[in-house]
A = this chain, B = another copy of it.
């Protein structure tokens, strides 16, 4: 049934336990152990129950609490064993000392996997905590896969599983899988992805990683047809050799993007208190990731931006680009940024420059490339013509359009209308989509905003509206030109290396 089960027979060696990932990521039946028996309870179990209901999970949910009762219109079962159906997946949110017994009960009734949200294990650094975690590992080894403990769980938009606290994550599936020990890093990325346009196949915050963790999950995701891009935030790893083997294998099949935390001396100390694993030195990690063919990013913003580029752009490198925008300094900045990241902004062929000059306002415009449209109110039809013409230059592989929409506030004020009525953002997004369709060359939109104060919330909303419009057309949007160019540079590194390897 699951992709993993099907392939187990074909592998030369069963390195990992047979695991029914289908029942774990797409459960039809779900037990939640540790909901509150009283109305108004606010524990993790109750929170997760409400979040999963808010997400519109389509399967059956079986809440469990020894006191029984009802919650959110569902009967609470006193024991896991009382649940009248086969249970695919369990969410365990009971106190640490009750976790082993709860997991044992899940194993007994044939649950495929469980996420343990509870904390109070090895991360405490106590003998008790370590002992409890060891018990989890022993039970898991007898046939139930465990995510956690001390984690925020699994987010899978297709099935409606969500991680803590997560009642408002996107239900749209997409190409990106994300792995992290840190629950906070995971839920933050899930939210950032929602508005930025990064869509996920699945996200796993595995906390202490007592059972399922980085190497084995990488092995699965490399073969997962729903996943086209793998991303991870790593603090420490358990088995360096296994990790290197799996990340290298995964990166040979799909892009693997890594944000490594805990690279500093003090960071490693902080990692130890956060997830009970060791960090490592900056240089070693850079070298390991490069050898593995993975892409290393340096912060959460870069992580999100690079995933956006890999998600929405064709799977190739882009060495020569055009940049179109209003205002000369944009052109200068574009050239500087492109050169810094190893890209060219070639002067367009003269006949194309002439064609673009024909439609641009004078004076102050330039059709050379960067294409300076001289004022920020140049209409979508003019921008479309400029982009269509620039795409005729056979060297141009990707186009960037920078729109300073905040300037429309001046027009809005002049005509006494809302800025979202005077800025042609729908037409702009449609024009860009048309250009991509007609030329077959991708376009990236950049929407800077210098007006982010309380007086200008209408501008902030206009930018958000425009971003959504572009997202609906499948066009990636970045806040700043620099972010876009840096993200493309990572694609160039990845696909450039693969091309080289194939020779």
State the A residues within 8 Å of B (CB): 119-120, 124, 165, 167-168, 182, 184-185, 188-189, 191-192, 194-195, 233, 235, 261-271, 273-275, 279, 299-301, 327-340, 344-345, 347, 363-364, 366, 368, 370, 372, 406, 409-410, 413, 450-457, 460-461, 464-465, 468, 480, 482
Q: Which residue of B lies closest to A331 (CB)?
A: B270
- Taken together as a complex, chains A and B put the C-alpha atoms of A332 and B273 apart, in Å, by 10
Q: Which residue of B lies closest to A461 (CB)?
A: B457
Q: Decide if A335 touches B267 in the complex (CB within 8 Å).
A: yes
Q: How many copies does the complex hold?
A: 2
Q: A299-B333, A339-B265 are in contact. Are A270 and B454 (CB under 8 A)?
A: no
With A261-B333, A264-B336, A267-B336 given, name 8 new contacts (CB 8 A): A120-B363, A182-B327, A191-B451, A266-B339, A269-B335, A270-B335, A299-B333, A457-B460
What residues of B have a CB within 8 angstroms of the CB of A184 in the complex?
A: 327-330
Q: Which residue of B lies closest to A453 (CB)?
A: B195
CB distance from A371 to the nearest CB of B (A): 11
Q: Decide if A329 touches B233 in the complex (CB within 8 Å).
A: yes
Q: Decide if A413 touches B167 in the complex (CB within 8 Å).
A: yes
CB distance from A447 to the nearest CB of B (A): 12
The one of B119, B339, B480 in contact with A301, judged by C-beta atoms closer than 8 angstroms, is B480
Q: A274-B332, A328-B274, A363-B124 are in contact. Are A264 and B464 (CB under 8 A)?
A: no
Q: Decide if B235 touches A182 in the complex (CB within 8 Å).
A: no
CB distance from A479 to the nearest CB of B (A): 9
- Taken together as a complex, chains A and B put the C-alpha atoms of A311 and B318 apart, in Å, by 41
Q: Decide if A454 touches B460 in the complex (CB within 8 Å).
A: no
Q: Which residue of B lies closest to A236 (CB)?
A: B332
What residues of B have a CB within 8 angstroms of the CB of A273 in the complex?
A: 328, 331, 366, 368, 372
Q: Decide if A457 touches B453 in the complex (CB within 8 Å).
A: no
A368, A464, A468: which has the most chain B beta carbons within 10 Å? A464
What residues of B have a CB within 8 angstroms of the CB of A192 in the complex?
A: 450, 452
What residues of B have a CB within 8 angstroms of the CB of A330 in the complex?
A: 184
The one of B261, B263, B368, B482 in contact with A299, judged by C-beta atoms closer than 8 angstroms, is B482
Q: Which residue of B lies closest to A124 (CB)?
A: B363
Q: Decide if B464 touches A261 in the complex (CB within 8 Å).
A: no
What residues of B have a CB within 8 angstroms of the CB of A328 in the complex?
A: 182, 184, 270, 273-275
Q: Decide if B340 touches A455 in the complex (CB within 8 Å).
A: no
Q: Decide if B119 touches A194 in the complex (CB within 8 Å).
A: no
Q: Decide if A363 touches B119 in the complex (CB within 8 Å).
A: yes
Q: A301-B480, A450-B191 are in contact. Are A262 and B468 (CB under 8 A)?
A: no
Q: Decide if B339 touches A370 in the complex (CB within 8 Å).
A: no
Q: A191-B406, A301-B480 are in contact. Are A267 and B332 (CB under 8 A)?
A: yes
Q: Decide if A454 touches B465 in the complex (CB within 8 Å).
A: yes
The one of B165, B262, B301, B464 in contact with A336, judged by C-beta atoms closer than 8 angstroms, is B262
- Taken together as a complex, chains A and B put the C-alpha atoms of A274 and B465 apart, in Å, by 32
A167, A189, A452: which has the most chain B beta carbons within 10 Å? A452
A165, A168, A275: which has the most chain B beta carbons within 10 Å? A168
CB distance from A286 to the nearest CB of B (A): 13
CB distance from A269 to the nearest CB of B (A): 7
Q: Decide if A261 touches B332 in the complex (CB within 8 Å).
A: yes
- Taken together as a complex, chains A and B put the C-alpha atoms of A273 and B334 apart, in Å, by 14
What residues of B have a CB within 8 angstroms of the CB of A188 in the complex?
A: 450
